[in-house]
Amino acid sequence: MPRLIGNEMQQHKLGGNFTFSAKRIEHLGATEYTLVTIAVDETGSVSGFKDQLLAMLQAAVGSCKSSPRSDNLLVRVLYFSDKYKGGVKEIHGFKPLAEIDPSQYPMPNPGGMTPLCDAAYSAIGAMNKYGKELYDRDYLANGIAFIVTDGGENASVATMPMVKSELAKSVTGEVLESMISIVIGINTQVCGPELDEFTKEAGITKYIDAGDLSDKTIAEKTLAKIAQFVSRSVSSQSQSLGTGGPSQQIAPTI
Amino acid sequence: MLKFSADHHFVIGRTHEYGGIPCQDYALSSGGENVAMATISDGCSSANGTDVGARLLAHTAIAAIWEHWTEFRSPFAKNAIERISSDQRMLTLRAAQSLGLPHSALHATSAHAYFSSSRGGYVHLSGDGVIALKLTDGSMKLTRFDWADNTPCYPLYALDGYTAFIGAHGGDLGGKVCTKEEWVRHPDRGFVLVGISPLTLREGIRGFTEHVEAETMERTLDTIAVFTDGVTQIDGIDWKDAVVQLLNFKTTEGVFAKRRLNRFVADAKKAGKGPLDDLAYAVIRIVRDDEKGEESDDTQSAAESGA
């Protein structure tokens, strides 16, 4: 049974000790929604470009506000690191864009190892669960998830079978009309092949190598491009609602 | 203290979708603190331009009701139905003239509901379609109106005093050319037929009105809905079941009727061909202070209820 946290949001349970929060469905006025999850790596290795990571997140969510479909987006933002219980910290649960102020996103405080399975499980599992609740109440919904990371899996509580199970459920079309999941690898000289392998094994839709962030200027440009990619992809997926399948317009590269 | 919420939606039927004909059904609604109104219109499928005509009739119905409300603040004041119908005709003709539309494009049915939070209200239908009243205890009254030879009366036939229309139905105003079919649905007993009444041409031209007194509205009324006759032509689904399903709102925030109709059509298309004819409906909900916003699930089908 979901738990009320204030008048507008409810907390929901996933498997294990994973939880997520979301806008109470009886407050949602549209006919259809795209569920968007952005999970951002907050492990020790991102400390060199944490400012740019925050800027990327703020720009990605901020750009979604100018989409013609902005009223049909519900966005959830996570930071992930094994310093958190369950590997993830929910910055906010699924909320309409109009209720989100990206300038309030906290500066990442990098530390800990990479719980990639936890991030994926929390992201996809929450979309499946909330998507089912929306479906049961006549809403049409699809989903898109982005996991931005510079490291391979090394510290999760959630297992790969749990992640695979949620991803398999997400693409049947029975609850969410469609789901697109994207791992965006940054600083991938070392972890690139591992992330590619993780993507394939888990059943994630695609892996995108965003490249090197070693230089501050390059990091700024690359993360800005990631923000644009996220915004465009969200728009495309939202426009595909009602077509019966996922967007075919997601760019293959950043 | 009660207030209203309202919503509406319309979908193209399979016949028109596959035939490349635009949707000729339309609906509009408005609901707030003191007054609510809802309207549907169904254009004649054998005349050109009735997709526009149906839209005109719906917009002018709402405009006429607002005009009446602004002046009289009561659905029961000053021959409301006659005044609103007359104003609707005048506004429709004016709009059609400015668009260069022939009168045949205005051949469409029209039904409207007009309710005040302090007085109650009514539903009036010219043509064919369905009126449904759902009560707070889950029971429902469903009334269906049909015409012989699928030739319903359109409000704009008044332009020639209904002469051609009367002739089309044999010239006898006392002839029985319409049918009123009334059902009640009880949550535990299912559908019970109240009666099937033949009506005269004279009665049909006058139109059909269901009045709701203030006390009844305040105590027992939950939802008022008007449907075009497309609700009676859904492949594999009895019209009464369709009405029940279309008023089974899972949540009531925002565009609640659009969500319900969209899901209903999606499910109907999985089970069969879905709506064969265009379908429109407009809904007024009575919102009471203690309402939480999420309806209880009422999915009892006719089969389950034994009707």
DSSP string for A154-191: -S-SS-HHHHHHHHHHHTSSSSSS-EEEEEEEESHHHH
**Residue B200: strand pairing partners:** B176
Mean pLDDT, residues B207-211 taken together: 97
Count of CA atoms in the C-beta half-sphere (13 A) of A180: 26
Evaluate whether B145 touches B151 at the Cβ level (below 8 Å): no
pLDDT for A190 equals 86
**Residue A74: strand pairing partners:** A35, A96
Selecting from B250, B254, B263 the residue whose C-beta is nearest the C-beta of A29 gives: B254
Higher pLDDT residue, A250 or B185?
Answer: B185
Residue B27 predicted with pLDDT over 70: yes
Nearest CA in chain A to B260: A138
Evaluate whether A192 touches A26 at the Cβ level (below 8 Å): no
Pairwise CB contact (< 8 Å): B262 & A140: yes
User: Rounded to an integer, what distance in angstroms lies between the CA atom of residue B100 and that of residue B292?
Assistant: 48
Q: What is the pLDDT of residues B254-278, one digit of tens each?
A: 999 999 999 999 999 999 999 999 9
Pairwise CB contact (< 8 Å): B255 & A26: no
User: Rounded to an integer, what distance in angstroms lies between the CA atom of residue A10 and that of residue B17?
Assistant: 41
Mean pLDDT, residues B210-220 taken together: 96
User: Residue A97 carries which DSSP code?
Assistant: G
CA nearest neighbour of B230 among B111, B136, B90, B135: B111
Residue B1 predicted with pLDDT over 90: no
pLDDT for A183 equals 97
Q: Does B293 contact A at CB distance below 8 Å?
A: yes
Q: What is the mean pLDDT of chain B?
A: 94
Binned at pLDDT 50, 70 and 90, residue B305 comes out as very low
Q: What is the pLDDT of residues B120-144, one digit of tens each?
A: 999 999 999 999 999 999 999 999 9
Pairwise CB contact (< 8 Å): B260 & A138: yes
Q: Residue B167: what residue type?
A: G
Pairwise CB contact (< 8 Å): B262 & A138: yes
User: Rounded to an integer, what distance in angstroms lies between the CA atom of residue B307 and that of residue B301?
Assistant: 9
Mean pLDDT by 10 residues, chain A (254 residues): 76 94 96 98 95 95 94 98 96 97 97 97 97 96 97 92 94 91 93 94 94 87 93 95 89 85
pLDDT for B301 equals 33
Q: Alpha carbon B71 to chain centroid distance?
A: 25
The pTM of the full predicted model, rounded to 2 decimals, is 0.91
Pairwise CB contact (< 8 Å): B251 & A28: yes
Residue B17 predicted with pLDDT over 70: yes
Residue B109 predicted with pLDDT over 60: yes
Selecting from A27, A136, A140 the residue whose C-beta is nearest the C-beta of B250 gives: A136
How far away is chain B from the Cα of A78, in angstroms, using its nearest Cα?
28
pLDDT for A223 equals 92
pLDDT for A192 equals 92
CA nearest neighbour of B113 among B93, B137, B134: B134
Nearest CA in chain B to A25: B251
Strands (DSSP E) along B117-189, which ranges?
120-126, 129-135, 140-147, 176-186
Q: What is the pLDDT of residues B72-92, one digit of tens each?
A: 999 999 799 999 999 999 999
Q: Does A98 contact B at CB distance below 8 Å?
A: no
